Chain A
Amino acid sequence: MAWASNLPQELLCRPTALVSLTGLDVTYNAIHKLIWDSFVNNRRSDRVPLQFKVTAGDHEYPKCRTNKRQSYEWYIPKGVLKKTWMNKHLNQVPAVVVVFFDLDWDEHLWKEKQMECATRVEIVRNSLLNRGTKVAVVLIQKNAPLPPGEDVVAAERAASLCSACDLSAKQLYVLPHTDHLIGYTIRLENAFYELAQSYYHGEARKVKAHRDFLNKTTHQLLFVRHQFKIAFFSELKQDSHTALKHYKQAYGHLLEMRMHDTNLLEIKSIAGFINYKICRLSFQHNAPLDSIAQFRKHIDFFKSKVGIAELAFEHSAWMAKQFQVFGDLFDEAIKLGLTAIQTQHPGFYYQQAANHAVNRKQLCRGFCKPLTQLIHPDPLEFLDNLDFYGQRPWRQGHQSIDPPDMQRERDGIASLQNMEIQVDHSWIIIPLLNSAVAQFKKYKSPRMKRYLMVQMGEEYYHAKDYNKALMLLNKVMWDYRGERWWHLLDSILDISLKCAYLTCKLQEYVSVCVELIGSYSMRSTEEKTRIQMNLIRVISNDSPEPEPGLDPICVDNARRLWSSCSTDPSVFSIDMQNIVPFVECKACFSTETVAADTEVQLEVYIRVNCQFPVRFSKLSVFLNNQLYNQYCQIVDGQGVSAGSEADSRGGDLYLVPGQTRLYTFSFLPLKDDVETQLEISSLVLELGSEAGRCAMLQWIGGGGPAVSPVQTAQSLLPRKPVVPGCPIDWNAVDVRAATRIVPRKAKLDVVIQHEPPCLLNEFYLLRLDMTNNEDTDIEDIRLSFGIQGDETASESEQTSHVCLETPEFDNVVEYSREDVALVKLGTGKKLSRRLFVKNMQIGTKVLFVKLVYTVAVTKTQQIITCTCEQNETISLTTVTPFEVSVKLNSLKFEQIEAIQIEEPFLLLPELKCTSPWLVELQSSQLQMTPFVQSADEDAPSQLQGVCLKKSECAAECICLQTVHCIQPSISLGTYTVYWRRHTDESKDLPFVTTSFPLPIVNTEHVPISMELRLPAYGSVKNLLPLCYVINNRTAYPQEMEVTMEANDSFMFSGNKQFHFRILPSKAYNLTYNLFPLVAGHVALPKLHVNMLRYQGNIDLITQKMIPTHVFIKPTGKTLDSSG
């Protein structure tokens, strides 16, 4: 059939002008060879499209009709397009013939050479008689040419050569054989190209000129032929737009032709050709929509033009070819940069091509019969060398409506049918589908791709390549499962089952059966029964019954295969989660965690959905620790075909459809597995015996339903609780494929007593009491405790120290103690330990206490050693025990802002207790800076032994004095308190220290200081001596002026106004005797001081240094002894 619909090679290629090169001896002449190579090699797209041929000088070109037709009046065309025509103009009739001739301008024998050249041109001209082919002469010269106009000899000789050869000056070329050969070649080429274009232009005009002679009634064929020729010449001329225009006209004329059964094949063939050209050129002109529209028009027009019914397959073949060719063109255009979309790409055309090819196959199967006898003469004798495209070989050139010889026509049709029946259609269909698959994959249509792959699989099945079919179908089935298109899956499985049967593929056969007898299969009950019977047969080492509707020959073959392999044992596994099987399995651990001393409970639920009960041979659960696998197996003692439930011994894996069975396993966890996850790695249900055939149905993990349920609002509603005794509700069972083995719960009573809150810096006492509540003694008790979170903190942030039993701290922080071994503890015994925590920062900390011990537990006559762990955490809040406020006073107990250098002053620290617990103070201490010293010799702490309750205060008073210095402000130092919590239990606790920084105070420099020495009190009318001592604190002598102000309360003697000098660092004494006149708290007479060299008001400063009042006692009344 290929002969009628295939496109000839000369149509498919891109037409290029033909240029004949004569006079080149490429075999023996190296220079000629070089020239030839420069023309033909490296023809890239930037060079002009030409085809070169080397021909002999006397080459015979196809003859041109000598007698030009003057009138078409009596001419009846025999067909549309001659088979030889395109080839003739592509490869035989050149547009340009080039005569190469070795001739230099300075040739000695010029005349002779010129004659020889003229003869050669003449020979070429003669063989091209009546053709418009252009002739050109190229002189191959050894010397490089001189610039034009300079070589007089050359110009003269060129003119004479032209006239001798009858050439125009534009047809003579010179090719200097020098280094730049390729440059000359390209220039020559371009010249030839121009000549060729003008040749084809002329040829097209010649054809156009015939048009006037034609009439529509008899020359319909010629209208098409002429337009086709013009278009083809235009293509040769590389004028694709004109070509497209004429191809379209040709197509238009073609559709106007009278069509009947005898010429339909010819018309369709030519229509196919022209359509191909139009589509191709449209794509080339970047007008893909035009191309697609043309193709649609083409198909719509010819779709229904089937022609002779007996040869309907021819039409399908032609249709298939049209689609395929268009698909190829489309694909080609895409490779050159066109973008296609999901709903318009070559895949659709390949798919349609495949559909028509399938149709062709069906028509062939339906109508074609092989020949019963040979026909003489063979009607298909000239099949391969027809005169015209698309004609019947037994009646070539015949253009009337009715076939000339009916018997011959029938013979011809029978022969064609005979030929068709020998075609293997599957190998036409499969490559088409393959192309389509590639396209649909590219344009994001996975489902279409899979559908085509299913079709491919079916085609492989029809082509009897069952292995390939099976492989291909297996690849696509999962999607139909995943998307739950059961009807489609079912039809695929049907073919798979047949293929598996025919190739005796045990594993595939069982796998497909397992799927087909399940509840999601769309098969009828009888079908399912039949398939299940077959499955049982296969598993019991028997041959299955063949599937209905198979080729008997193949079935015989398959039977032999099955019987030959029935004796071999075969164990294979089938992954249940990849298919939708008839048996479902769910496994779950009964609890999410299992204590180390309790049994792990594992439940396995199994349900089958097949037609009649089935007996499995073994159920095994594989866990991530293989040591447990021995506990998780059930073996059914019966054979696969054994009858009912009643006669089972031991394990029973006889499953009745629709009833959920529960199998329970339990085992003790191993000691090493504590704190690990126990997981189900797989479930395996075996069908058949391991000695014979055995299918291991395998679920990874805990299994699950065959099809995961769709989540709807209802499925999210709370489930009904399971009532014991009722049949198990399959849907209510949840898979729990993992459980965690946790340490045994400790039976150790731990009590921690303490008195919060914790005070800053103190050794906080926690009493840990443990009571052994186990039935046996516990050993290897290890205690760990510490502050949570401190292990990750940096060293500077670790502000909590812990210690056990003895409170110690040597400035190295230990945030936790690990695994302190404790003594063995008998059952019922108690153990007590003291923990201390020293928090050096206020805030909340979490203290953990962990006790680990081992104990021997007796469980089901086994003694297991369990490690138990008890954890306690306590949150500790730390508060400060007291607040400190510091006051500075002058010796007159007046608050001062700044201290005067070298003058004594008073420091008054006051502690306020903020602790809720009683705090016992041991002592306090001042750490003074070098600028400060105690004014007293030895001053013991005034706080010794004081106990403070909450909100109580304790204060002391310390007299200090600064040394001589010049700093504007000085730091006084720190104040440290030694203290501890005062409780009954704290007698042996060490005192802890808390330090407070003392304030930084400003200093004042005063040039003089003044002191008043006076008795503590005076008495009325008794002498009261006063002495003012004035010290010069400077390094210079100071001049002073003092005035004593009079006062009503005193009479006094001494200098009232006085002027004196004080030497550096010396003192001056002023002595007054006062005589008090009134009693009481009396103001002293004021001594005003004036320093001549001091700008400030020294009087105000000195007034602050001395007392202003004195207490004067009244005169005592003597006891009247008489009265």
Chain B
Amino acid sequence: MAVCVAVIAKENYPLYIKTIPTDNELKFQYTVHTSLDVVEEKISSVGKNTNDLRELYLGLLYPTEDYKVYGYVTNTKVKFVIVVESSNTSLRDNEIRGMFRKLHNGYVDMLCNPFYTPGENITSRLFDNTVLSMMQQD
């Protein structure tokens, strides 16, 4: 399953980052941060061409040796990034889409909490559990 899940604010600062295992968290943060280059490029190129509804799922962002980085951007430009190991071949495009859908639902539920101010770091336990469920080995 995923080794790193991140939620990035519209202004590109991290709202939530979870990595398993945690010892290499810094590296994953760099991975997520650098993947924003591709995310931004993809968003901007779509905006120019059509006014149609953009697909939220951006697909594979960076092909790295060890990890695959996938991206997803909500309509309010909140970005989700999921990192999976390259060796994990069981995760196909459909599974990744499913994970993003789940993550988006979890995010929306969390956002509905009136005590959460948009733009703050996400500390919700429920959201945490959603993410953990995507990262644990089945």
- Which residues of A are at the interface with B, using a C-beta cutoff of 8 A? 342-344, 348, 352, 355, 444-448, 451, 454, 483-485, 487-488, 491, 710, 712-714
Contact = CB atoms under 8 A, between A and B. Distances in A.
B65 interface: yes
17 contacts: A352-B64, A355-B65, A446-B37, A448-B34, A454-B30, A483-B11, A483-B13, A483-B33, A484-B13, A484-B14, A485-B13, A487-B17, A487-B29, A488-B29, A710-B9, A710-B11, A714-B117
Interface in B9-44: 9, 11-14, 17, 25-26, 29-30, 33-34, 36-38, 41
Interface string B55-74: 00000011111000000000
Contact of A447 (B14, B37, B118, B119): B37
A444 B41 contact: yes
B61 A485 contact: no
Contacts of B36: 447
Contacts of A484: 11, 13-14
A352 B13 contact: no
B6 to A, nearest CB: 11
Nearest to A713: B118
B88 to A, nearest CB: 15
Nearest to A299: B65
A302 to B, nearest CB: 13
A567 B87 CA distance: 59
Nearest to A710: B119
A483 B34 CA distance: 12
A447 B63 contact: no
A487 B26 contact: yes
Question: 7 shortest A-B CB distances, which residue pairs?
Answer: A484-B13, A445-B37, A710-B119, A448-B34, A447-B34, A712-B119, A447-B37
Interface string B38-55: 100100000000000000
Nearest to A323: B65
Contacts of A488: 26, 29-30, 33
A485 B33 contact: yes
B41 A342 contact: yes
Interface of B is mostly: mixed
A326 B59 CA distance: 26
Nearest to A355: B65
Contacts of B14: 484-485, 487
Given A343-B38, A483-B12, A487-B26, A712 B63 contact: no
A485 B29 contact: yes
B26 A343 contact: no
Nearest to B63: A343
B85 to A, nearest CB: 14
A710 B11 CA distance: 8
Contacts of B12: 483
A491 B28 CA distance: 13
Contacts of B63: 343-344, 348
A38 B110 CA distance: 80
Contacts of A446: 37
Interface in B99-127: 117-119
B26 A447 contact: no
A185 to B, nearest CB: 51
B43 to A, nearest CB: 13
B39 to A, nearest CB: 10
A348 B67 CA distance: 13
A448 B30 CA distance: 8
Nearest to A707: B13
Contacts of A355: 65
Contacts of A444: 37, 41
Contacts of A344: 63
Contact of A487 (B25, B65, B118): B25
A488 B33 CA distance: 9
| Centre residue among A344, A487, A713, A714 by max chain B CB count within 10 A | A487
A764 B63 CA distance: 86
A488 B14 CA distance: 11
A352 B66 CA distance: 10
Contacts of A451: 30, 33-34
Nearest to A711: B119
A710 B25 CA distance: 25
B47 to A, nearest CB: 15
A352 B37 CA distance: 18
Given A444-B41, A451-B34, A483-B12, A712 B29 contact: no
B62 A343 contact: yes
Nearest to A452: B34
A445 B69 CA distance: 15
A355 to B, nearest CB: 7
Contacts of B29: 485, 487-488
A459 to B, nearest CB: 15
Contacts of B118: 712-714
A857 to B, nearest CB: 50
Contacts of A352: 64-65
B38 A342 contact: yes
Contacts of A445: 34, 37-38
A483 B38 CA distance: 16
A56 B25 CA distance: 69
A348 B61 CA distance: 13
Nearest to B34: A448
Contacts of B64: 348, 352
Contacts of A713: 118
A445 B12 CA distance: 14
B40 to A, nearest CB: 9
A448 B13 contact: no
A714 B115 CA distance: 11
Nearest to B119: A710
Contacts of B30: 451, 454, 488
Contact of A342 (B13, B25, B37, B65): B37
Most buried by B among A355, A446, A483: A483
Given A348-B63, A712-B119, A447 B33 contact: yes
Contacts of B17: 487
A352 B29 CA distance: 18
Contacts of B65: 352, 355
B90 to A, nearest CB: 18
A377 B81 CA distance: 57
Given A485-B13, A712-B119, A491 B26 contact: yes
Contacts of A454: 30
B119 A448 contact: no
A483 B117 CA distance: 19
Contacts of A491: 26
A549 to B, nearest CB: 15
A344 B9 CA distance: 27
A1096 B38 CA distance: 102
A712 B38 CA distance: 26
Contacts of B37: 342, 444-448
A355 B41 CA distance: 25
Nearest to B13: A484
Given A445-B38, A447-B37, A491-B26, A343 B13 contact: no
Contacts of A447: 33-34, 36-37
A487 B15 CA distance: 12
B65 to A, nearest CB: 6
Interface centre among B37, B38, B63 (most CB of A within 10 A): B37
Contacts of A483: 11-13, 33
